Amino acid sequence: MSTVIKRVGVVGCGLMGSGFADLCASAGLEVNIVVSSGASAARDRARLVSSYERRLRKGKITEAERDTAQALISFSDDPDTLSDCQFVLEAVGERLVDKEAVFGTIDRIVTDPQAVLATNTSSIPIMKIAQATSDPSRVVGVHFFNPAPVMPLVELIGSLHTAPETIDRASAFVTGTLGKKVIRGQDRPGFVVNALLIPYLLGAVRMLESGAASAEEIDQGMTLGCGHPMGPLALADMIGLDTIAAIGEAMYDELKEPLYAPPPLLRRMVEGELVGKKAGQGFYRYE
């Protein structure tokens, strides 16, 4: 019988990693975040503080709840702090070589055979990542969506090596402790959501690139004509054009289907660091 997960680790504290840490601390769990440097810790801590302060101003949490959650989060540049964690989420950039490095480290440090080693990858097959470990039965894809504290869905993906017990424990944690809805996908690039979403977003970029319509017209076509809450180009800006390009490239490398290949316009915007809302400019400008 596995024990209840009370201590979690996070490697990579960008938007997804910090969102997951926020979600776990708000659920009363101890959260150990591994960062690359003191500067990273300061930046990531500020992001989390801002998230809690925003919810406090909106009346969604109390001061006591804010203080309790923040006290549960610790930062370190030493991966050994993850040694007693029962669930570790990798949330570094969407590059296989970076994820392999992380899993090689946490596989060595987190020795509990019941500990879940999870990746938040949105496109890379779980089998490829799990091969970096000595025990791929502990590795599972647990794909949260941004912002993790708000979005209700999590994709759960096992590789051919993932033990049923690992999937069951991850599912129970995500649904029971974190209160999310789980869908299970096959271990293929993009899983369920991005296999549908990425071709749609890239198609909108190709339409803009061809001059068929403006960004505003493309987005209005989908919001006013199809009832979507957000147009594809505005959504791409929110996700991050660098993230969209990385997901598309990973899917194209695996499947070799042209609909997944990032178009030249998207590549040029990423090269020019016009990657969307987080940069202040993408297909639209942001204050």
**Of 194, 228, 273, 287, which one is the catalytic site residue?**
194
248 touches 239 (CB < 8 A): no
**Of 32, 51, 94, 143, which one is the catalytic site residue?**
143
Burial class (CB in 10 A: 0-12, 13-18, 19+), 210: exposed
- Helix, strand, or coil (residue 182): strand
Here the tokens at position 228 are 């979507």
Is 194 considered catalytic here?
yes
Task: Identify the CA nearest to 190 among candidates 249, 130, 133, 233.
Answer: 249
Is 155 considered catalytic here?
yes
**Of 18, 94, 155, 159, which one is the catalytic site residue?**
155
The pairs formed by 66-72 with CB atoms below 8 angstroms and a separation of 24 or more are: 68/28, 69/22, 69/25, 69/26, 70/25, 72/24, 72/25, 72/28, 72/29, 72/30, 72/31
- Looking at residue 3, the DSSP 8-state letter turns out to be P
Task: Compute CA 8 distance to the chain's CA centroid, rounded to the nearest angstrom.
Answer: 16
**Of 122, 216, 273, 287, which one is the catalytic site residue?**
122
Round to whole Å and give the CA distance between 9 and 83.
9
Round to whole Å and give the CA distance between 254 and 22.
33
Is 122 considered catalytic here?
yes
Active site residues: 122, 143, 155, 194
